[in-house]
Amino acid sequence: MQGALSFIWAMLIMAYSFAQLIAGYTGVEYYYGGMWAGIALGVALIMRFTLPITIGSFYCAMEVWGWHWGLAALFAAPGLVFVVPGVLFSIIDGIRK
């Protein structure tokens, strides 16, 4: 059972990653054109520098798909769910001391 759940989880992560690559390509293409989108995708896949794809997926979700900027940010950078509360708690902890 554990192996099946791990496999399903891995497939979900791969599907999300593929959707984010497509959205990143679309977002960069929407603003800068197909040549720059191809360059951004190549840089992400070959050099593992994903910042242009992350920014492109944010713009795609916000401008092309019409999402709210908060949901678009969570789609583009899901780690923000953990970073923002951590920063807020450390600020509050620093103020209390």
Residue 12 has pLDDT above 80, yes or no: yes
Confidence label for 83 from pLDDT (cuts 50, 70 and 90):
confident
Q: What whole-number distance in Å separates Cα of residue 26 and Cα of residue 24?
A: 5
Q: Model's pTM, two decimal places?
A: 0.79
Confidence label for 33 from pLDDT (cuts 50, 70 and 90):
very high
More confident residue, 16 or 85: 16
Domain boundaries along the sequence of the chain: 2-96
Q: What whole-number distance in Å separates Cα of residue 3 and Cα of residue 27?
A: 36
Q: Which amino acid is at 75?
A: F
Q: What whole-number distance in Å separates Cα of residue 5 and Cα of residue 21?
A: 24
